[in-house]
Amino acid sequence: MTRCTFADGAALRCAVSGGADSLALLVLACATGADVHAVHVDHGLRPESAGESAMVAAAARRLGATSETV
């Protein structure tokens, strides 16, 4: 994390699909100490999409980030 620095009080917005890649980026964003807000888009195209939205929100909470589903 020494090469990934943000100004004090920086706010980051992360698009999180719920897949491994975007969740890993959410973890890294939170590790920087920035104010992180996760955004998940629920198109409602699959039966499991509501569960994915809940999982993303729970992951964000555990990491200290805020989240929203749009």
Per-residue pLDDT in tens (0 to 9) along the chain, 70 residues: 677 778 878 999 999 999 999 999 999 999 999 999 999 999 999 999 999 999 999 999 999 999 999 9
- Model pTM? 0.88
Residue 15 lies in a domain: yes
Instruction: Output the six-digit token pair for 26.
Output: 């959410």
- H or E element: which one contains 15? strand 11-15
pLDDT of residue 1: 63
Domain that holds residue 29: 11-69
CATH of the domain at 63: 3.40.50.620
Report if residue 1 sits inside a domain.
no
Q: Would you state the pLDDT for residue 4?
A: 74
Quick check: is 2 in a domain? no
